[in-house]
Amino acid sequence: MGKRAQPLLAAALLCLAGLAVAEQEQDWRSRGSSEDKLAQVMRTLPSAAHIMNEMGQRYQNLYWAGKLGQWEFAAYQGEEIVKLVELLQISSPKRAATAQVFLDHAMGEFDAAYEKKDWDTFLHAFRSMRAQCLACHEKNDHGFIIPPEHPVSAPSVILNLPR
């Protein structure tokens, strides 16, 4: 590099460093008060719509895991469904009571299906769970959201189904 270029480069670097500092000053994660930080973090809590988008996928995965006789994977999907409803209870307190009804009544029948490794028992359990999904949608003014009785496919790569 020629001697004349050196001051130019130094100036450019200083300029970049200045920009980085300015950016950091605006960054609530490093500069905000604890109150501001908490308020911002609260705004990032997942909404019911976010949670339910994943719920729809796990619903499909659960159905197809059962259909393909992948019982452990089915049980795992069921556990994740429960965790999603528990998360919703925390992030959307106004839905907590209706979510509790789901937790108390939706998943009880699956254990028998996994023990017997039996599709008919599983389908019965799946239908009971679905009825609780529908009931909760109804109670939360979203009765028009109706997950299919027989999902045609499922998104998990583990199940390797055509989409």
Size of the site for ligand HEC (CB under 6 A): 22
Q: Which helix (H) or strand (E) holds 62?
A: helix 48-67
Residue 46 is a binding residue for ligand HEC (CB under 6 A): no
Q: What does the DSSP 8-state code read for residue 93?
A: G
> Least separation, in Å, of the C-beta of 13 and ligand HEC?
47
Beta strands in 25-163 (DSSP E): none
Binding mask 73-112 for ligand HEC (x = CB under 6 A): --------x---x--x------x--xx--x----------
Contacts to ligand HEC from residues 50-69, by CB under 6 A: 52-53, 55-56, 59
Name every residue whose Cβ is closer than 8 Å to that of residue 85 and which is 6 or more positions away in sequence. Answer: 99, 102, 103
In contact, 28 and 37? CB cutoff 8 Å: yes
Contacts to ligand HEC from residues 115-144, by CB under 6 A: 129, 133, 136-137, 140, 142
Q: What is the number of other CB atoms lying within 10 angstroms of the CB of residue 143?
A: 12
In contact, 145 and 133? CB cutoff 8 Å: no
Question: What does the binding site for ligand HEC look like in residue numbers (CB under 6 A)?
Answer: 48-49, 52-53, 55-56, 59, 81, 85, 88, 95, 98-99, 102, 129, 133, 136-137, 140, 142, 145, 147
